Amino acid sequence: MHTPHAPHTPTSSSRRTILAMIGATLVAGPALTGTPASAAGTGTAAPGLDDPAKKEIAMKLVSSAENSSLDWKAQYGYIEDIGDGRGYTAGIIGFCSGTHDMLDLVELYTQRKPGNPLAGYLPALRRVDGSDSHEGLDPGYPDAWRRAAQDQVFKQAQNDERDRVYFNPAVQRGKADGIGTLGQFTYYDAIVMHGNGGDSTSFGSIRNRALGRARPPAQGGDEVTYLNAFLDARVWAMKQEEAHSDTSRVDTAQRVFLRNRNLNLNPPLDWQVYGDSFHIG
């Protein structure tokens, strides 16, 4: 989803394919059990990525790659067409007018607050869904989005859609695989960039490629070995698209934490993305 040093970034072709199926696809199959290596021997389970403090770290890590900033909350009002064939890209997770998730978001916002600044654009959003067209959106839609972003109801709708489509399915699948906080974050970052469509670079395909090389803890495997296999598969997927050919969000961020065996994503954290250095104390 990121071209180095761009303000916001394109996604892979599968980024938001079959959004309605994501949650079901990720959590399908029998419930798996197992203790993440990161929790072994502690006597209590380590917090997962859905722990509030860990989730805040996850938001900052993604924002460092997507927006070159740790201030993810400054992105609610972000909107532009970045020329990736997906129409307008906007908000905290890059909702797109051409890939259905922006339409879902504005419909949710309108259910919660009829007459909001974006409600009148719903017919146009339905028409352009699946294309890069701005028909019916220009010239006023970007200003309407920025006005809406001042509304706490709209901010909450963005949070809720991010969780429903991306964050919660990633955490659920990670916990089912028996991986800890870092592993759950690797899943979340992959879903944000690649979505979970049916092609070879989707999240599900990345995970399947990793499973062909290593077993997750829930299947008796070693967590570090499995996460290395997953990140190898992720890098392969990123290199299939020119916009993702810089793999530093894996190489100089997630792999750094893994090499340090920081499986719980405990601060302090130091990493680099696209040459920029970041720190969480």
* Options 66, 161, 223, 246, the catalytic residue: 66
Kindly state whether residue 23 falls inside one of the protein's structural domains: yes
pLDDT above 50 for 215: yes
Active site residue 66: yes
User: What is the distance in angstroms between the CA of the first residue and the CA of the last residue of the chain?
Assistant: 26
Mean pLDDT of 112-140: 98
* Options 50, 84, 101, 177, the catalytic residue: 84
Active site residue 84: yes
- 21-39 pLDDT tens trace: 334 344 333 333 334 444 4
pLDDT above 60 for 118: yes
- Residue 23, amino acid: G
Would you place residue 99 in the very low, low, confident or very high pLDDT band (cuts 50, 70, 90)?
confident
Distance CA 44, CA 143 (A): 49
pLDDT above 90 for 1: no
% pLDDT > 70, the chain: 83
Kindly state whether residue 2 falls inside one of the protein's structural domains: no
Kindly state whether residue 9 falls inside one of the protein's structural domains: no
- DSSP letter assigned to residue 45: P
Range of the structural domain that residue 166 is part of = 19-280
If DSSP codes are grouped into helix, strand and coil, which group holds residue 62? helix
pLDDT above 90 for 13: no
- DSSP letter assigned to residue 240: T
Kindly state whether residue 4 falls inside one of the protein's structural domains: no
Mean pLDDT is lowest, of 147-151, 190-194, 253-257, 266-270, for 190-194
Kindly state whether residue 10 falls inside one of the protein's structural domains: no
Task: Provide the number of structural domains found in the chain.
Answer: 1
pLDDT above 70 for 178: yes
Mean pLDDT of 216-244: 94
Predicted confidence at residue 4, as pLDDT, reads: 31
Kindly state whether residue 5 falls inside one of the protein's structural domains: no
Predicted confidence at residue 46, as pLDDT, reads: 67
- 83-93 pLDDT tens trace: 888 899 999 99
Would you place residue 66 in the very low, low, confident or very high pLDDT band (cuts 50, 70, 90)?
confident
- 126-135 pLDDT tens trace: 999 999 999 9
Number of H helices, E strands in the chain: 12, 5
Kindly state whether residue 141 falls inside one of the protein's structural domains: yes
CATH code for the domain in which residue 263 is found: 1.20.141.10
Q: How far is CA 275 from CA 21, 46, 246, 249, 252, in A?
A: 35, 31, 10, 10, 9
Kindly state whether residue 13 falls inside one of the protein's structural domains: no
Distance CA 158, CA 207 (A): 27
